[in-house]
Amino acid sequence: MNSRSIKLLKLGQMSYDSCLELQNHLSESLKTKTINKCGYLLIVEHKPVYTVGIRQKDYNSILEDNLIKLGAEFKRTNRGGLITFHGPGQLIAYPILNLKKFNPSIRWYVANLETTIKNLCNETYGLNATTTSDTGVWIDNHKICAIGVRCSRYVTTHGLALNCNTDLSWFKHIVPCGLHGKGVTSLSTIFEKNITVNDVLPYFLQHFCKSFSCDILNTEIDKIN
């Protein structure tokens, strides 16, 4: 058993705003409490929502309105990265970690998130997933996992979104992560069968624990202190 333990919260489907509020609450608790805590791992699915990072805080309002007319929400966030989509069929993971308990380097942290997904794709599903200078995980020229994080006083928020059986048509209305000429894909698209978040989650947790050298403790949201 590892000396580092992270509390796992499986939230099901939750609105983006409610989940962000929870992230902020947990991150502040890690910054202010003297209790020796490593952090939390939130697993969630969102209803359709487009989010932009701090590099696109002035995203065109006409384009924003067009996206909202599609039936999605639109949120400006304080994470890194550019525009992306979140919706049902994505395994969304928000690690709220105290990096002082791991490695106080945001580059190390992002690289470990990429390694988690790359190993999941390659070792569990036999794919040839890669990473590039563009943050995220790729299958050939198609992104399968987007990553956008924030770190304040060594505590992380936001995280990653792995496409399991996501409706990829939502991505047609944006330039995902600002990368022209690139595509998106999902596990279900690659294998031509339905692969759900619940199918993938046990393997994700296994690879996350290996990458971050930690254990995970299942926790109910009403038992968080």
Instruction: Convert the pLDDT of each residue in 29-71 to its tens digit.
Output: 998 865 668 999 999 999 999 998 876 666 778 788 889 999 9
Q: Which pLDDT score, from 0 to 100, does residue 179 have?
A: 65
Task: Tell whether residue 174 is among the known ligand binding residues.
Answer: no
Measured CA to CA, the distance from residue 34 to residue 107 in angstroms comes to: 26
Helix H or strand E segment including 22 = helix 16-32
pLDDT digits (tens, 9 = 90+) for 175-213: 776 666 789 999 999 999 999 999 999 999 999 999 999
**Above 60 in pLDDT, residue 77?**
yes
Written as one letter, the residue type at 34 is T
Task: Tell whether residue 204 is among the known ligand binding residues.
Answer: no
The structural domain count of the chain equals 1
Question: HSE-up of 41 (CA within 13 Å, CB side)?
Answer: 22
What are the phi and psi torsion angles at 166 (to 5°)?
-65, 145
Task: Tell whether residue 12 is among the known ligand binding residues.
Answer: no
Residue 151 annotated to the active site: no
**Above 90 in pLDDT, residue 95?**
yes
Q: Which pLDDT score, from 0 to 100, does residue 55 have?
A: 65
| Eight-state DSSP code of residue 66 | H
Task: Tell whether residue 84 is among the known ligand binding residues.
Answer: yes
Task: Tell whether residue 87 is among the known ligand binding residues.
Answer: no
Q: What is the dihedral of CA 118, 119, 123, 124, to 10 degrees?
A: -80
Task: Tell whether residue 85 is among the known ligand binding residues.
Answer: yes
Global pTM? Answer: 0.94
The CATH number of the domain holding residue 64 is 3.30.930.10
Whole domain around residue 123: which residue ranges?
5-223
Residues forming beta bridges with residue 32, ordered by sequence position: none
CA 160 to chain centre: 2
The candidate with the shortest Cα–Cα distance to 214, out of 1, 13, 25, is 1
Written as one letter, the residue type at 143 is K
The candidate with the shortest Cα–Cα distance to 164, out of 203, 210, 123, 130, is 203
Q: Which of 38, 121, 164, 177 is catalytic?
A: 177
